Amino acid sequence: MNIDRKAIYNGTLVFIGLYTLHILMVPLLTKVFQEGWKSTAVFGISQILGLATCLLAGYVAARTAGERGFFYGFNVGAFGTLLTALGAVVFSFLFGLKFPFLQSLPFWIFANGFLAAVAGIMTTNFADTQTKAP
């Protein structure tokens, strides 16, 4: 089984880029809504951004590979989650911030992996129906 490394690189980079954008937007959102994290609007927007991060990363990976959408989607969701958690740990050490809680990391690796896998499956299935259409 050959692995399309470009698909995994591209999808993981999309995940990391969108997640970084998500993290940078949250403080701005809390200022706009002025109720902080307890604001329903901030929470909802944050959840939508997180979902979009997983789905777009899975889409890019499956689209680049053109096959095995579940495999490529799951891997970019899992790798992206693992790498962003590692980045959070390094960031906290460098700037003396509170160490991020990592006990829920296994859950998020699988949850984000499966979300990205769903996008990967949808991408490859949609591409298959387009090529088979009369």
Predicted local distance difference test score (pLDDT) of residue 13:
96
Q: Which residues contact 89 (CB under 8 A, 6 or more apart)?
A: 99, 100, 102
Sign of the CA dihedral 24, 30, 31, 36? negative
Predicted local distance difference test score (pLDDT) of residue 43:
82
CA distances from 20 to 41, 63, 66 (A): 20, 22, 26
Count up the domains in the chain and report the number: 1
Residue 118 lies in domain:
5-132
Predicted local distance difference test score (pLDDT) of residue 111:
96
Largest CA distance in the chain: 61
Predicted local distance difference test score (pLDDT) of residue 44:
86
d(CA 101, CA 7): 30
Predicted local distance difference test score (pLDDT) of residue 134:
56
The pLDDT profile of the chain, 134 residues, written as one tens digit per residue, is: 789 999 999 999 999 999 999 999 888 887 777 665 557 778 888 899 999 999 999 999 999 998 899 999 999 999 999 999 999 888 888 888 787 778 899 999 999 999 999 999 999 988 656 665 55
